[in-house]
Structure 1
Amino acid sequence: MTRGTMKTACLALAALLALGGCTVTIHTGDEGVDRTSFKADRIKADVAFLADDRLGGRDTGSAGHEIAANYVAAQFTRLGLVPAGDDGGYFQNVPFQTAHITPDDVALSLTMGGETTDLTVGDEYLMSGSVRTADATVEGDVVFVGYGIHAPDLGHDDLAGVDLTGKIALVISGAPKSFQTEIRAHHGSGRTKTRALGARGAVGYITVNSAIDEKRRPFARSRRFLGRKSFNWIAPDGPDAGENGVRVTATVSHGVARRMFAAGGGDFDAVLAEADAGSPKARPLDVRASLSRKSRRSDTFTSPNVVALLEGTDPELAGEVVVMTAHLDHIGTNETLKGPDKINNGAMDNATGVSILMEVARVYAETGIRPRRSILFAAVTAEEKGLLGADYLARFPTRPDLRVVANVNVDMPVLLYDFVDVVAFGADRSTLGPMAAQALDKAGVTLSPDPIPEEGIFTRSDHYRFVQQGVPSVFLMTGWGESPDGEDGGALFREFLSKTYHTPRDDVSLPINYQAGAKFAYVNWLILTDVANADGIPVWNRGDFFGQAFSGPMAPAQAAP
């Protein structure tokens, strides 16, 4: 079946189903809604459809993803939700391009001691294609700038007093261990470093692994990513919109870094030790670098966010919207995998999350509960490509007349056991925290600390793109406590991450606990309802790092006693 045929069929089915809707009395509270209002069998049916082999793993831009998007739109239609996409429909069609390189498309040379050496891509350095700065050549003196982090508020500024105008920066990956884990993930990201370095005049930068990162993800293993496609959305005013002065980036091996420091009498291993202690010192190197890249960009294509609105009932508050997100995409089919199964179905990641989002919407529709504020349901695309669909929605809202005041995100709840606790990423940073705690208490679920803080999960799912727009956000993860029947939640979660995550084994043959999925839907519904009915909007806790960094609404200072 072609994409057009499938789209027509799905929308026709939606229209027919919509005719069978029933009239309900509208009210704003949670009267009559409890755990039993959320149906495991409906979640199971949705997961079965979204994770079916015939959808091919729902890769961004694929026919399978479009089928999944039409399925979600059909459910929204049946529920009577207001279309909130482009041109009166449910789709916000996000324009994308991909970019990749071959070894012949890139070059990196170093001049040391009067001699110029061309490095070998794959063995000594890595570079990738770029949609935003597809073709570029930069040349300049190399300046080592530690981690490349500008964080004077944390007592750390690698860039203080450093002139980077027209220079190539050499930076160590990551961020100091002394930083709180979520803040470390923010400052350690390439996106944050690119902006900081570009703002100070750097035209390119080179990364070398920290000692910790080299142990966790050795440079030699990264060779397999050479030539992989990078994705980015296209801004309304073109692919290069908003890019700062950094034009080319690369990563070099430890061996290359040792030669670069040795050229001026330095000791790279001593610098790694300084970095491990948190205080690598910036210094110019006696090295000049030239970096060149010619990316092979695709034609522009689209992949939809599926967005629908449940309109609020309070005339004073209905213009404020709480966004519930879950990513619809997965990683598609990989023909290089060994064995007969090449399809990464993404049952847990994230067919479960989208199915829970739809179940939450169903309960609103069936019960007639309409909170005071509006709720926007968004099954977003391209999470696996860098949170791109959520980023586009947060930057270019489909309903600019509505003010986004909070985000509740659902991503890969590991439903292999009857969870008794959850981790609420972001809850401790805003007034969403007490609301989440109240919802969890009502559902009989406890709140637990992050069991894997080193992973920096707060910055790795779609809610973070709303955080970057200043919006208080919360993202629940199933906790690691022992289930009522004695199952070790932590052991099952870790086993899923190590053996099943992003493999063809993540399919409907997993022993998915759909009753746990219904409970997870209930918890998220309670949070949404509380936020949408509250007298005031969520605000960041006074002085919170992310609230300040992204200029979000802040709690007022407490009056002096």
Structure 2
Amino acid sequence: MRHLTYCLLALLINSLPVASSLAQSDAIPADAQRVTRTVRPEAIRNHMRILANDSLRGRKPGTPGFDMAADYVTKQLKALGLKPAGENGTYRQDVPLRRWQVNEATSSLALVVNGREQPLVYGKQFIFSPSPDHATSNVTAPVVFVGYGVSAPELDYDDYTGIDVKGKIVAFVNGAPATFPSNQRAYYSSSKAENAAAHGAVGTLAFSLPSDLRNRIETAAPRARQGTYRWVDKMGKPQRTYPAIQGAASLSDSAARLLFANAGTSFKDVITNAQKNRPQAFPLNVSVRMQTQTNVVENVPGYNVVAMLPGSDPALKDEYIVYVAHMDHLGVGRPVKGDSIYNGAHDNASGVAIILETARLFTSLEKAPRRSILFVGVTGEEMGLLGSDYFASNPTVPKDKIVANLTLDMPFFFHALLDIVPYGAQHSSLDREVRQAAGFVGVQISPDPIPEQTVFMRSDHFSFVRQGIPALFIKSGSQTGNPNLDGTKLNLEWRATIYHSPQDDMNQPFDFKSAAKHVQLQFLTGYLTAQTDQRPVWNKGDFFGTKFGKTSE
């Protein structure tokens, strides 16, 4: 009987019109409520069909397919009456991108013990990351193991305590302690080169726990060989690099074990300590010679699309809420199941489509919100959040007037939308607006169900967090309304089998009613934020607010 009840409930939820699930809320003006109910699931589907069509060839920056996508987005925003907010009175902001690649034939890595070298095999035992700051680098130095390579004083954790790594190469385990809060775990997993450079290291060696199958050399090598992209400034200097690090390599499990052959602590004990989240640091009694040649492979003429709905309040119209979705994907690549076009339907034609429909809702209001709204389609997300980082670093409006960012990327609408995970909400006053929007739409708010995926660092909202701007990244939760359908399992299976493959196309079981709810959430959260007297603030003592922005008093 319980199973029958669940099934009937799920059927009822999915059969109701989108608007009928909305609860009334005194906090939301009648006009905004009216507009919210006009959302069109079929419009989201149509946008996605166009953006994920084979003719766009995977929308890789620098290709005609990306230009087609950007042109479509521009025309849609222009047709809504939104004003150009790019450079020189256009809808476009140029983003100069450059790609570097390691020359494997002239690059090598060897362990040095008692003057004897043991060369490792490129692509099997190690891979190098390109070094945009060093066309050629040759460094030989002792190796020091530094656990996870993390310094987190606010969490009473520091792998560098009591160890001097100046002029040395540091080896560390990928990831961060599982005891860290989800978003800080994501941050510290991704900031190790910066931390190593701050401690005076000249090189890094990264390896994974034996149980971590996501970062194996076998799977990482093909993508690493495609090179590294960065945006460059007007002087041609690459950004988000650490020149002090002269060589950076990832090691296979077997190569990592070789590092510990002469250490005072066994590899087995190292792994046990890491799994128990214990800081650890000690010399490995081995040196490493790293010789790397990095070549500039290409310059890519990247660009963002930027449009604006001017605000209606004389005092607040010069402040901005920024909506972002990345237009790019991976282009054409290795065939999988007979298909070589990486369409990126979910990643991220879905986010762009939802933002376009969100923009339509804003333009349907009888009166524009008090603050201005920017809609930005960015390039180079798949290359490392490059378009959003460029915009957040070089915005086409005054940076100090950007009060909040809402990013949408792979929101995951493969089942009924009953709960959401609003990444970033717990860090700022935006939590209030997202909760009001969620209550109106009728969805619950849940914690991160997959903290090991370090989602918080993996999309464009983080480019704004780095600039001290409160940001939100809303994704579907794991509730499905069906006791036989585990939402978290479905999410992980999709990531393991479809993510970044040619099978991410329109032949997937998308639930466009759920996609429509994402539009409503995006619209209402941004609208309510645009209407408040006070701009959003970081929570007092918040980690990200303290590190990058200003916390509330």
TM-score in same-fold range (> 0.5): yes
Q: Secondary structure at the match of 1:502?
A: coil
Q: Kindly indicate whether the alpha-carbon contact (under 8 Å) linking 1:350 and 1:411 is maintained by their aligned counterparts in 2.
A: yes
Partner of 1:72: 73
Instruction: Using structure 2 for the length normalisation, give the TM-score.
Output: 0.89
Q: Kindly indicate whether the alpha-carbon contact (under 8 Å) linking 2:420 and 2:446 is maintained by their aligned counterparts in 1.
A: yes
Distance 1:82 1:528, change over 3 A: same
More displaced stretch, 175-184 vs 485-494:
485-494
Distance 1:505 1:338, change over 3 A: closer
Distance 1:207 1:401, change over 3 A: closer
Matched, 1:410 2:404: no
Deviation track 1:28-53 (CA, whole Å, cap 9, x = no partner) reads: 97445244311122222211111111
Alignment of 1:546-557 (within 5 A): 546-550=544-548, 552-556=549-553
Q: Kindly indicate whether the alpha-carbon contact (under 8 Å) linking 1:258 and 1:269 is maintained by their aligned counterparts in 2.
A: no
Deviation track 1:113-148 (CA, whole Å, cap 9, x = no partner) reads: 221222221222211323344432222222222222
Residue identity in the other structure for 2:433: M
Partner of 2:13: none
Partner of 2:244: 245
Distance 1:283 1:339, change over 3 A: closer
Partner of 2:341: 343
Distance 1:93 1:200, change over 3 A: same
Partner of 2:254: 255
Distance 1:29 1:202, change over 3 A: farther
Deviation track 1:396-423 (CA, whole Å, cap 9, x = no partner) reads: 1122366111111111122233312211
Distance 1:486 1:178, change over 3 A: closer
Q: Kindly indicate whether the alpha-carbon contact (under 8 Å) linking 2:35 and 2:365 is maintained by their aligned counterparts in 1.
A: no
Distance 2:201 2:45 in 1: 51
Distance 1:287 1:428 in 2: 44
Distance 1:151 1:52, change over 3 A: same
Q: Kindly indicate whether the alpha-carbon contact (under 8 Å) linking 1:108 and 1:119 is maintained by their aligned counterparts in 2.
A: yes
Residue identity in the other structure for 1:57: G
Distance 1:271 1:497 in 2: 29
Distance 1:480 1:489 in 2: 4
Distance 1:42 1:99 in 2: 39
Gaps in structure 1 of 5+ consecutive residues: 1-27, 557-561
Distance 1:158 1:368, change over 3 A: same
Partner of 1:318: 317
Distance 2:51 2:257 in 1: 49
Matched, 1:37 2:31: no
Partner of 1:118: 119
Distance 2:126 2:413 in 1: 40
Alignment of 1:168-247 (within 5 A): 168-189=169-190, 192-213=191-212, 215-240=213-238, 243-247=242-246
Distance 1:262 1:491, change over 3 A: closer
Q: Secondary structure at the match of 2:331?
A: coil
Deviation track 1:310-369 (CA, whole Å, cap 9, x = no partner) reads: 1112222122111111111111111x3144321111112111110111111112223343
Equivalent pairs, count: 525
Distance 1:238 1:29 in 2: 51
Q: Kindly indicate whether the alpha-carbon contact (under 8 Å) linking 2:392 and 2:399 is maintained by their aligned counterparts in 1.
A: no
Cα RMSD (Å):
2.3
Distance 1:186 1:46 in 2: 33
Deviation track 1:495-542 (CA, whole Å, cap 9, x = no partner) reads: 433432222222222232323222211111000000011111111111
Q: Kindly indicate whether the alpha-carbon contact (under 8 Å) linking 2:182 and 2:448 is maintained by their aligned counterparts in 1.
A: no
Q: Kindly indicate whether the alpha-carbon contact (under 8 Å) linking 1:35 and 1:443 is maintained by their aligned counterparts in 2.
A: no
Alignment of 1:290-439 (within 5 A): 290-334=289-333, 336-400=334-398, 403-439=401-437
Matched, 1:518 2:519: no
Distance 1:324 1:226, change over 3 A: closer
Instruction: Using structure 1 for the length normalisation, give the TM-score.
Output: 0.88
Distance 1:547 1:232, change over 3 A: same
Q: Secondary structure at the match of 2:245?
A: coil
Q: Kindly indicate whether the alpha-carbon contact (under 8 Å) linking 1:209 and 1:219 is maintained by their aligned counterparts in 2.
A: no
Distance 1:160 1:140 in 2: 20
